[in-house]
Structure 1
Amino acid sequence: MSERLIRVIERFRWPLLAVWLVALVAAGVAALPIADRLSGGGWYVPGSGSQKAITATQSGFTDRGASDLTLVVRDERNAAGTPAFDQRVGQAMRQVIGDKRLEAKGSYGWLSLSPTSRGQFVGKDRHTATTLVGLKLDDGTARRVLPDVQKDIDHRFAPQGLRVSLVSAGTLWGEINTLSQKGLQTAELITFPLLLVILLLLYRGIASAVVSFVVSATAIVFTLGLMSVLAQHFELSIFVENAATMIGLGVSVDYSLFVISRYTDELSRGRDRTAALAATLRTSGKTVTFSGLIVILAMSSLFLVDLNVIQSIALGILVVVAFAVLAAVLVLPLVLLLLGDRILWGRLPMQRRTPEEQGRRWRSVARQIMRRPVLFLVVAIAAMLALASPSLSLRTFTPDARIVPESSPVRQGYDAMREQFGPGTASPNEVVITSDTPLNTSSDSGRILALRDQLARLPHVTGVNSPVDALRAVSPGRPFAALDSAAFNRLPGDARVTIDHFVSADRRTIVLEVIADDYASSAPSRDLVTAMRSTVDTLGAPGLHAVVGGETAEGIDANSAISERLPAVVAVMLVVIYLLLLITFRSVLLPIKAILINLLSLGATYGALVLVFQHKSGAGLFGFQEFGYLQNFVPILLLAILFSLSTDYEVFLLHRIREEYDSGADNTTSVANGMARTAPLISGAAVLMVAVFGAFAFTGIMPIQQLGFGLAIAIALDATIIRLVVVPAAMQLMGRWNWWLPGRPDRPSPVVRTQESEESVVRS
């Protein structure tokens, strides 16, 4: 098959080259608008309370829309209550709300109320005022439009001594999208030169190092082009671009390393380009294909989690790995065929060890470990368990506004609301109550009033915003009777505006806003939402339906969705990996050993993440911001990615050990020779991946920082402690049980090793 494929590529090499270049350009053009098409959403769990709450408030209210924002204006020159403040702030608010890009539906707050009722919308410093604005823009459109509006109003009003901020999920995620783009560009500026230097050291040649980027460019450009097209029809998370680029760079340089190293090795043995490529595809091509299959199957298990943000990232990684495999086994052979022995051009005059010298070094290390397998295994496992121990305190949640730099107008708006109106005002919790009958005729209105009072008494509550006070002022005995149209029309203007903000036009839905005393992602805020849901469950009226929503509830529901599906994800992933390794090595115990080792490595990675991102000292050491928790999708993504990548290295190593064993070598010699022949390549591949993931860890925003740092740590641990110590020590102790399979002879007849069966060695 390999030879036929090479003949086809050789025969049609120029048309294939033209097709590839045209497709690459087309994909690049399609990928250009991807940043504007990706969404900051994807956190709502279908059918959850938080999703029902946001859906219930998107229509039917006078001043609530498909999306909402809080307009925060600070006058640095004048204080509230003065004519100058009223004139300047009012004019600024009207200009912003009148911006046609916002498609404002209505507003409620300082601007819509009379001076006597504005008190709660004026900050403690008497220089800040807020107004809530309902938009006709859907959530995805708002996230694309609001950042540009924010930038324009900042330039317009800042010279006038007015700080104007749009506080909403749309502006926050729009800003995060912008930061993601900047982080991605910075990571690429760092990564590509760094990779080039590492590849030059590995290949000892300029042409080979440059050609390695063919796979990367093909995989990433094709993926972003496809994701951009899909984003027009489906909601895809903004984290797709960063995650796909990071993983795409990592696996593609690995795959190109496997293929090019083998090809140059075959050329150095005197083969012509056709024979060298055929031998390369028979060996390294199979390794790459199997590696990609493992990643794709492992990532596919994440679709069991009913959360769009995770499914989006999984799709991006799955697609980029698939394109990386296709590029490595189709596009790269085409380029190598066209170059021929010119791939050896630019050899650097650097001293290099021969394969025999490399083999002796790694073989010596392996034999030293296998002389005292129990000692080395116990020490290695103890060290990994010690590193894993902090993972017992691992906490996860969704990001809040602190993910954005303090210099951002969006962050300044959030900070202003928290400082001037209280920590929880920027992200209030919502209790949305829907009645089967209009509230003014419902016999259960007393239960709603009692619920409002119960919520106000909960710990960590600073206040409950609702229409109850306005209704009670008119009708103390039967507050909801004031919702009757005849009575409502006789109410003061401010009362009508307030009631319409909290009660739907059909008078069947009422919103209670519960303000917490801390950030939305804090433990007290999460405890409050749990208490709110318990309180709401006691409503106990057949005609009333209540749900709790808001930023904190959204994060809790997302965490629950991940936790509930995690056992299924792990089970599917382990079964798939076990079966693949069982089929590959025809061994019952080796797959179990590989899975246990991967779990050990994963635990150590989680522990390192906890130490760095959940503790101030660790975060300060690396220059990260300490949030006290990990992004909720990071651990489960690490689980899928690390199991697949670690299994790749396991397969590559064990395949070579198995060849030695089948050739008649004893267990110790097989392991030593297998390590001698694969360790240089595994080490080189690991260095490349650590460089890629490390660059994203120090340039991306918080979730990408955590994902990149975790991957870099995991790959470093896997390529050193796991592959160099744990694997040889464990295989030495297992002895002949390594290859045990019921019904199969303990050792097959020795096979004759041919030139094609040799694994390539990176000449370092």
Structure 2
Amino acid sequence: MAERFAHAIRRYRWLLLAAWLVVLTGAGVAALPLAGKLSGGGWYVSGSDSQLAAQALRSGFTGRGESNLVVLVHDERHTVADPQFAERAGRAVNAVLDDDRLDAASSYGWMSLTGDGRDAFVGDDRRTVVTLVGLDVDDGTARRVLPDVQGELADRFAAEGLRVSLVSAASLFGEINALSQSSLTEAELIAFPLILVILLWLYRSVVATAVSFVVSMTALGLTFGLLSLLASRFELSIFVQNAATMIGLGVSVDYSLIIISRYAEELRRGRDRFEALVTTLRTSGETVLFSGLIVALSTSALFLVPLNVIGSIALGIVLVVAFAVLSSVLVLPVVLYLLGDRVLKGAVKLPGGRARSLEVSENPWYRLAMRIMRRPVLWLLPPAIALIALAVPGLGMSTFTPDARVVPTSSPVRYGYDLMREQFGTGAASPMQVVVTVAGELNDAHGAALTGLAERLRGLPHVERVDSPLDVLRAVDPARPVAALAGLDRMPADARQTVEHFVSADRDTVVLEVIPDGDAASPGVIALYDQVRAEVAKLPSDSLRGVVGGETAEGVDANQAISDKLPYVLGIMLLIIYVLLLVTFRSLLLPLKAIVLNLLSVGATFGLLAIVFQHGFGVELLGTVSHGYVQNFVPILLLAILFGLSTDYEVFLLNRVREEWQRTGDDTVSVATGLARTAPLISGAAVLMLAVFGAFTLTGINPIQQLGFGLAVAVALDATLIRLVIVPASMRLMGRWNWWLPGRRPTATPVSSPALPVREDALR
């Protein structure tokens, strides 16, 4: 098959090259609007209470709409008692209400009320006011236009001493989207030069280094082009672009390293470019194909989680890995064949010179492996115990959805959130919405049930206050507050607006807003959410149905969805990896060993993630801060990605070990030789991935920082403690059981097997 494929490349090379250029150009054009199509949503679990609450509030209420804003105005020169304040703050709010891009439908708060009715919307400093605005544009549109609107407002009013902030989920995720784009650019500016230097060090050839970028350019270009087309019809999370770039760069440079290294090795052995290509496709091509299959299938298990944000990121990773494999085994061979031995040109002399050719027995990696296998238990226990100890803090990992704290304090959006918490209470920016739907016509019995619910909610711990229409209605008719709705048109304008903000126009939905005394992700507020749901459940189910929404509800529902599906995701990944390794190595125990080692690596990574990002030890070195929890989608993404990437290294190593064992029948020598042949490649691949993941750790927004940090830590552990120490020690202890399969007697009969691509003269 490899030979037939190589013949096709030789015959149709120019046609394939032209087709590649056309497809890549088309994908690049299609990818241009991708950023503007991505959504900051994706956190709602389909059918959950938080989603139902959000849907119920999209129409029929004053100051609420398809998307919602809190317009916060802070006057640095005047207080509300000064005559100038109303005119200055009013101009700022009107700039939002009159903006055609936002299509404001209604407002409620300081701007729309008068007299004493405004007091609840004035901050403690008497310089800050808020107005709630309902928009007639969907959340996706709002997230796209709000960053520009916010920037224009900040610039326009800053000279007048006014700070204007748009506080909402849409504005927050719109800001995160903008920050994701800028951090992506920063990460690329750091990663690409590092990759260039590392590849020059590995290849010692300018041409080979340049060719390696063909795979990255193709994989990312095709992925973004296809994602852009998909985003036109489906909601895709803003995090998909960062995640796809990070994983795409990592695997594409690794796969190109494997292919180019083997091709160059075959040329140096005196083979012509056709023979070199056939051997490369038969060996390294099969290895890349199998490795990509493992990563893609492992990541596909994430589609079981009913969260769009996780599904989006999983889709991006599967696509970019698939295109990286396609580029490595189709596009890259065409380019290599056209170049021939010119791929070796442009030699670069770097410090240390070229590694001298060594006999295997003189190789330092060989000597290290033999030293370890002489005392396998002594070498196995310390690193295994260390990894288990690192994993312990991960058992107490706390997770939640991203909040405003992932945005830098310099952002006007973050300023608005912080000031709102400071002036109106910590929980004012993230209230819980208790949305009660009435079966039939709202009557006195319903009013009594709602009044009782409001009183019980006020008595719960961590509740700052409960906002509802009941106080206004009781002022009109203390005995029968619901009956007062019949005279709504005769009420004063302020009272009418308040009622219409909490009671829908068709009178079948009533909202009670619980303002907690802490952040949405704080343990006390999460506990409060459970208590609020318990109180809502006491409503008479035959006539009233209540659901709880808001930021805390959204986060709790998302966490629950992830934890519910985690066993299935883990089980499918383990099954996929076990079956594929069983088929490849024809051994029952080697796949089990690989899974145990993967669990050790992932467990230690989770522990370090909790130590740094949850408990804050050393987090300042990464240029960020600890929020007391880990972003909830990060651990499950790490689980899927790391199982795939770690198995990659396992395949690279064990392919060569099995080949040596089939040739010699000596368990110890085959392990040492396999390690000597593959350690340079694994080390080089790990350094490349560390450069990519490290760039995102230092420049990305908080969720991407956590993902990059976890990947970097895991790759470092896997390429050092796992592959260099634990693997040879454990394989020495297992001996011939490494290759045990019931019904088949392990023999040292040579069997055709993909040889691991190695360049001992360049990869050190």
Q: Compute the TM-score of the two structures, normalised by the length of structure 1.
A: 0.98
How far apart, in 1, do the equivalents of 2:429 and 2:478 lie?
A: 31
Question: What stretches of structure 1 of length at least 5 have no aligned partner?
Answer: none
- The percentage of aligned residue pairs carrying the same residue is 62
Q: Indicate the SS of the match to 2:298.
A: helix
- Inter-partner Cα distance in structure 1 for 2:78 and 2:363: 79
Q: What's 1:460 paired with?
A: 462
Q: Match for residue 179 of structure 1?
A: 179
CA displacement 1:468-504 (0-9 Å, x = unmatched) = 11001000001010112xx112211111110000000
2:638 aligned with 1:638, yes or no?
yes
Q: Does 1:470 align with 2:466?
A: no
Corresponding letter in the other structure for 1:353: A
Letter in 2 for 1:761: R
Cα deviation digits, residues 521-546 of structure 1 (max 9, x gap):
22122111111111111123311000
Q: Is the 8 A contact 2:656 2:755 kept in 1?
A: no
**Alignment partner for residue 414 of structure 2, among 411, 435, 438?**
411
Q: CA deviation at 1:184?
A: 0.5
Do the aligned partners of 1:429 and 1:553 also contact (CA within 8 Å) in 2? Answer: yes
Q: Is the aligned partner of 1:731 residue 2:734?
A: no
Distance 2:752 2:602 in 1: 38
Q: Is the 8 A contact 2:236 2:309 kept in 1?
A: yes
C-alpha deviation, 1:357, in angstroms? 5.5
Letter of the 1:157 partner, please give it.
F
- Which residue number corresponds to residue 189 of structure 2? 189
Contact 1:438 1:506 in 2 (8 A): no
Residue aligning to 2:759: 761
Separation (CA, whole Å) in 2 of partners of 1:215 and 1:270: 26
Query: How many Å apart are 1:99 and its aligned residue?
Result: 1.0
Please tell me the residue identity of whatever aligns with 2:406: I
Indicate conservation of the 8 Å contact 1:255/1:325, yes or no: yes
The 3-state SS of whatever aligns with 1:41 is: coil
Q: SS at 1:118's partner residue?
A: helix
In the TM superposition, 1:257-296 aligns within 5 A as: 257-296=257-296
Residue 651 of structure 1: how far off its partner (Å): 0.9
Counterpart of 1:585?
A: 585
What are the within-5 Å matches in structure 2 for residues 328-477 of structure 1?
Answer: 328-350=328-350, 351-356=353-358, 360-439=363-442, 441=443, 443-477=445-479
Q: Structure 2 regions of 5+ residues with no counterpart?
A: none
Give the 3 Å change call, closer, same or farther, for CA 269–121 of structure 1 in structure 2.
same
Contact residue 108 and residue 131 of structure 1 kept, 8 A: yes
AA paired with 2:390? Answer: L
CA distance in 2, matches of 1:433, 1:757: 65
Higher deviation after alignment, 539-548 or 584-593: 539-548
The 8 Å contact of residues 187 and 700 in structure 1, kept in 2 or not, is answered as yes
Q: What is the identity, as a one-letter code, of the residue corresponding to 2:105? A: K
Distance 1:144 1:32 in 2: 15
- 1:758 Cα deviation (Å)? 6.6
* Equivalent in the alignment of 2:102: 102
Distance 1:617 1:710 in 2: 15
Q: Partners in 2 of 1:628 and 1:722 — Cα distance? A: 30
Report the counterpart of residue 573 of structure 1 in structure 2: 573
Cα deviation per residue 1:284-329 (whole Å; 9 max; x = unaligned)? 0000000000011101100110100000000000000000000000
Alignment of 1:608-687 (within 5 A): 608-687=608-687
Q: Does 1:59 align with 2:59?
A: yes
Distance in 2, Cα, partners of 1:41 & 1:355? 55
The one-letter code matched in structure 2 to 1:137 is V
Q: Which letter does structure 1 place at the counterpart of 2:501?
A: H
What residue in structure 1 maps to residue 224 of structure 2? 224
Query: Aligned to 2:617, what secondary structure does the other structure show?
Result: helix
CA distance in 2 between counterparts of 1:68 and 1:570 reads 38
Cα distance, 1:751–1:420 mapped onto 2, change above 3 Å:
closer
Deviation at 1:442, TM superposition (A): 5.2
Contact 1:444/1:541 (<8 A) preserved: no
Match of 2:719 in 1: 719
Contact 1:663 1:752 survives alignment (8 Å)? no
Give 1:229 shift.
Answer: 0.9
2:142, 2:626 → 1: CA distance? 29
Query: What is the CA RMSD across the aligned residues, in angstroms?
Result: 1.3
CA shift, 1:355, in A, is 4.3
Q: CA deviation at 1:238?
A: 0.2
Query: C-alpha distance in 2, partners of 1:44/1:758?
Result: 45
Q: Hey, what's the Cα distance between the residues in 2 that align with 1:326 and 1:489?
A: 67
Q: Give the Å deviation of 1:27.
A: 0.8
Aligned partner of 1:33 in structure 2 is: 33
Q: How far does residue 746 in structure 1 lie from its aligned partner after superposition? A: 2.3
Report if the CA contact (8 A) 1:533-1:548 is conserved.
yes
CA contact (8 A) 2:252 2:324 kept: yes
Task: Give yes or no for contact 2:75–2:161 (8 Å, CA) kept in 1.
Answer: yes
Length-normalised TM-score, structure 2? 0.98
SS at match of 2:548: strand
Question: Where do residues 106-255 of structure 1 align in structure 2 (5 Å cutoff)?
Answer: 106-255=106-255
Q: Which residue matches 2:22?
A: 22
Give, as a single letter, the amino acid of the residue that structure 1 aligns with 2:745: P
Q: Is the 8 A contact 1:656 1:759 kept in 2?
A: no
8 Å Cα contact 1:399-1:521 kept in structure 2: no
Distance of aligned partners of 1:757 and 1:152 in 2 relative to their CA distance in 1, 3 Å threshold:
closer
The offset of 1:617, in angstroms, is 3.0
| Aligned-pair CA distance for 1:623 | 3.0
**Which amino acid is the alignment partner of residue 464 of structure 1?**
V
Please state how far the C-alpha of 1:670 moved relative to its aligned partner: 0.9
Cα distance in 2 for partners of 1:193, 1:154 equals 35
Q: Is the 8 A contact 2:154 2:164 kept in 1?
A: yes
Q: State the match for 2:80 in structure 1.
A: 80
Provide, for residues 539-584 of structure 1, a one-character-per-residue CA deviation record: whole Å limited to 9, x for no partner. 2331100000001110000000000000000001101110001111
Kept in 2: contact 1:207–1:346 (CA 8 A): yes
Q: Distance in 1 between matches of 2:717 and 2:541?
A: 57
Q: Report the Cα distance in structure 2 between the residues aligned to 1:355 and 1:520, rounded to whole angstroms.
A: 61
Contact 2:521 / 2:552 at 8 angstroms: preserved in 1?
A: yes
Q: Alpha-carbon deviation of 1:620? A: 2.4
- The AA in structure 1 aligned to 2:397 is L
Q: Distance in 2 between matches of 1:36 and 1:758?
A: 43
Deviation at 1:18, TM superposition (A): 1.3
Instruction: Report the secondary structure of 1:698's partner residue.
Output: helix
